[in-house]
Structure 1
Amino acid sequence: MNLFRLDASILPGSSASSEIADIAQAEWTSAHPGATVTRRHLGTDALPADAWTLATTGGFTPEADRTPAQREALALGAALAEEVQNADAAILAVPLYNYGVSQHFKTWVDLVITGAGPTTPLLKGTPTVLATALGGGYGPGTPREGWDHSTPYLERVLADIWQADLTVIKRELTLAATTPGMEPLRDLAQQHHTNALTAAHTAGRTLAGS
Structure 2
Amino acid sequence: MAVLLHLDSSLFPLENSGSRQLTDAFRRTWQEAHPQGSVIYRDLAADRVPHLDAATVAADTLPPLRRQLIAEFEKADVVLIGAPMYNFTVPSTLKAWLDQIILAGRTFGEGVPASGKRVVVASSRGGSYRPGTPRAGFEFDTNYLEKVLGDALGLRVEVITRELTLAPVTPAMAALIPQAEESARQSLLRAAESAREHAALVS
Q: Which residue of 1 aligns with 2:78?
A: 89
**CA distances 1:62-109 after superposition (whole Å, capped 9, x unpaired):** x4xxxxxxx7x7332222111111001221111110001111111111
The match for 1:80 among 62, 66, 69 is 69
Aligned residues of 1:94 and 1:130 also touching (Cα < 8 A): yes
Which residues of 2 match residues 22-171 of structure 1 at below 5 A? Answer: 22-49=24-51, 51-56=52-57, 58-59=58-59, 63=60, 74-114=63-103, 116=106, 118-119=108-109, 124-171=115-162
When residues 158 and 169 of structure 1 are mapped into structure 2, their CA distance, relative to the original with a 3 A threshold, is same
Q: Which residue of 2 aligns with 1:194?
A: 185
**CA distances 1:173-205 after superposition (whole Å, capped 9, x unpaired):** 111110120111111111111110111111011
Aligned residues of 1:55 and 1:111 also touching (Cα < 8 A): no
Q: Match of 2:169, SS? A: coil
Q: Match of 1:182, SS? A: helix
Deviation of residue 26 (structure 1)? 1.4
Q: Percent identity, aligned pairs only?
A: 34
**CA distances 1:29-56 after superposition (whole Å, capped 9, x unpaired):** 112214210011111111224x444312
Deviation of residue 162 (structure 1)? 2.0
Aligned residues of 1:52 and 1:110 also touching (Cα < 8 A): no
Q: Match of 1:146, SS? A: helix
Distance 1:152 1:90 in 2: 17
Task: Tell me which structure has the larger Cα radius of gyration.
Answer: 1
When residues 167 and 93 of structure 1 are mapped into structure 2, their CA distance, relative to the original with a 3 A threshold, is same
Aligned residues of 1:77 and 1:114 also touching (Cα < 8 A): no
Q: Which residue of 2 aligns with 1:6?
A: 7
Point out the more displaced range, 157-166 or 82-91: 157-166
So what's the TM-score if we normalise by structure 1? 0.86
RMSD: 2.0
Aligned residues of 1:52 and 1:111 also touching (Cα < 8 A): no
Within the alignment, does 1:178 sit opposite 2:173 as a pair? no
Amino acid at match of 2:23: A
So what's the TM-score if we normalise by structure 2? 0.89
Q: Give the count of matched residue pairs.
A: 197
Point out the more displaced range, 91-100 or 116-125: 116-125
In structure 2, list runs of 5 or more residues that go unmatched.
none
